[in-house]
Amino acid sequence: MSFNIAIDGPAGAGKSTIAKRAAKELSFIYVDTGAMYRAITLGLMRRGTDIEDVQALERSLAEIEVTIDYRDGAQQVYLNGENVSGSIRTEEVSARTSACAAKPQVRAKLTDLQRELARKENVLMDGRDIGTAILPDAQLKIYLTASVQTRAQRRYKELIERGESCSLEAIEKDIEERDYRDMHRETAPLKQAEDAVLVDSSDMTIEEVTARIVELARERIGSGCGA
């Protein structure tokens, strides 16, 4: 039986950086489910699909195939065979993914793929609904969060380092809006699973959060919870 770790939480809490590091230390496979939602969104954008038109959405989804594999340990995501791991990281895709991910038809398309990966391998999967909807039996669930201000400042720093101009207020507003949409959608909203361990990274370094997760995982593995 595989050992599954679910990490959920809002955008900017450090999930992917920390999940990648923790997975490496534990020799688990890291599954970034946000990348899958982004790839579907890119497919819908390229087709010019009006996602509010259910029939058009279903027609497009039937023609979109998302798959993943790993290159040097890093997850690659493919849209109908094309590696889109870079193209899904634009601001436009980020902004649109939240609305696409709210559509039940979009979520249904990824559920089986995510569960199948977790069934076969020891995975550390990050997303928004992993502990609540996708892997309700995960042996360890973490809800990783941080204050809006901390998350906005981290994002601001990243953009400035990349040489992009931006305003801290605009980033804060964007984060608040995205949180609201992800937490209030009807299908699989972002929320802490009852049995998830809450980790607030506002005043913690990446190393501290990673160490905490690895420690929790080792405790559970040691206590004979699967693996």
3-state helix, strand, coil in the chain (%, to 5): 55, 15, 30
Q: Is 101 in the site for ligand DC (CB under 6 A)?
A: yes
Among 3, 28, 30, 37, binds ligand DC (CB under 6 A): 37
Residue 97 touches ligand DC, criterion: CB under 6 A? yes
Counting residues that bind ligand DC (by CB under 6 A) gives: 13
CA distance 221 to 202: 27
Helix (H, G, I), strand (E, B) or coil at 32: strand
Query: Positive or negative CA dihedral for 221, 216, 118, 28?
Result: negative
User: C-alpha angle 45/182/196, rounded to 5°?
Assistant: 130
State yes or no: residue 34 binds ligand DC (CB under 6 A): yes
Q: Does 156 bind ligand DC (CB under 6 A)?
A: no
- Binding status of residue 145 toward ligand DC by CB under 6 A: no
- For strand 29-32 and strand 123-127, is the pairing parallel, antiparallel, or unpaired? parallel
Give min distance, CB of 152 to ligand DC, in A: 14
In the complex, minimum distance from the CB of residue 175 to ligand DC, in angstroms, rounded to a whole number: 11
Q: Please tell me whether residue 127 binds ligand DC under the rule CB under 6 A.
A: yes
What residues have CB less than 8 Å from 133, skipping those under 6 apart? 111, 188
User: Of 174, 159, 199, 201, which is closest to residue 6 (Cα–Cα)?
Assistant: 199
From the CB of 179, what's the least distance to ligand DC, in Å? 9
Q: In terms of CB distance, is 17 or 218 closer to ligand DC? A: 17
Is position 38 an interface residue for ligand DC (rule: CB under 6 A)?
yes
Q: Which is nearer to ligand DC, 41 or 122 (CB)?
A: 41
For ligand DC, the binding residues (CB under 6 A) are 11, 33-34, 37-38, 97-98, 101, 127-129, 178, 182
